[in-house]
Amino acid sequence: MNFIRSFVIVAGVAALTACSGQLHKLDEVEALKDATPIGNAFTQRLTTEYQVFVHDELKGFNDHADSLHFSRKGLAAARGDMVSPEQVSDWQLLPGHAEELIVARSRLVNTFDMGAREVQPDLSAVAQVRYDCWIENQEENFQADEIAACKAQFMDALAQLEAMAPPAPPPAPEPQAFDFDPNEPMAVENAKYIVFFDFDKHDLNTGAQSILDAAADEIKKRNLSGIDIVAHTDTSGSKSYNMSLSKKRANAVLEGLVARGIDPAMLSTDFRGENELLVETADGVREPANRRGEITFK
């Protein structure tokens, strides 16, 4: 699970804490089980769908991290908040998967903007949670049956929503982020691969290895003049320690690419310690999104 999204829901969790007392660890999961939803028909059905999804994640797959994340979304829906489908940028996805999910989310949000949540609240709630299920399983990328089931259920619900909605107005002429020719490579200046690290670690975990596999494949397809690697830390620890740790992370990414057949002469490294945070935090905060190495092309 990419913990950038944990930052996005902080405000919602803070509001929940004020109403329900301090919650710890998986208390949100238990709270969601007993939640009585308020709000409109869409948020009430959305609460029910997240209750089922969280139960399946926790009991079926023992996935505590994602169960907690989606419990918080379910509790926000139970309060009557309009909870959005997951943002693709918040998840560690391979480029081809990310592009497909960007397009799918755009289509879903378009139906919402045209009134689907008001006209078809139950179907809209099913579509949203099935989309969230798809993206969560796609990031893990090893349960093919679960990915296929969530995606198929989402696409079926989306097709029904699009059939009842009036046609969308013509799109603006400016190119969108998901307008791409699959036969053309991504522009060099737009290509970026981000490797995330565990707390106080510089070794490459399973997710990082997958990102490096994808980055190396892309590098081999291109005629590049160079590849830049810039590594970072969060603000936990001293500045000097974090500078040293980020250097180790940069070297780990470099070594990972070299092991995949990339010419070391093409690679340059830099390390910024706790400078240039992806998610702004106070000093001493363990923020997973800031523990990263970024790979860009030139």
- Report which of 58, 287, 97, 105 is spatially closest to residue 210, judged by C-alpha positions: 97
Taking only the tens place, the pLDDT of each residue in 32-45 is: 888 999 999 999 99
The contacts of residue 57 (CB under 8 Å, 6+ apart) are 63, 66, 67, 70, 136
Taking only the tens place, the pLDDT of each residue in 223-267 is: 899 999 999 999 999 999 999 999 999 999 999 999 999 999 999
Domains of the chain, first to last: 4-164 (no CATH), 188-297 (3.30.1330.60)
Annotate 30-84 with DSSP letters as a single string. Answer: HHHHH----SSHHHHHHHHHHHHHHHIIIIIH--HHHHHHHHHHHHHHHTT--PP
Taking only the tens place, the pLDDT of each residue in 16-35 is: 443 444 344 567 888 988 89
The contacts of residue 292 (CB under 8 Å, 6+ apart) are 194, 195, 196, 197, 231, 232, 278
- Report which of 180, 259, 269 is spatially closest to residue 228, judged by C-alpha positions: 269
**Within its chain, how far is the Cα of 71 from the centroid?**
16
Reported as a pLDDT band with limits 50, 70 and 90, residue 166 is low
User: Do residues 137 and 53 make contact, with C-beta atoms less than 8 angstroms apart?
Assistant: no
Mean pLDDT of the chain: 85
According to DSSP, the residues that pair with 227 across neighbouring strands are 267, 297
Q: For 212-221, what is the mean pLDDT?
A: 91
Q: For 78-94, what is the mean pLDDT?
A: 92
- Please count the other Cβ atoms lying within 10 Å of the Cβ belonging to residue 206: 9
Taking only the tens place, the pLDDT of each residue in 62-82 is: 778 888 899 999 999 999 999
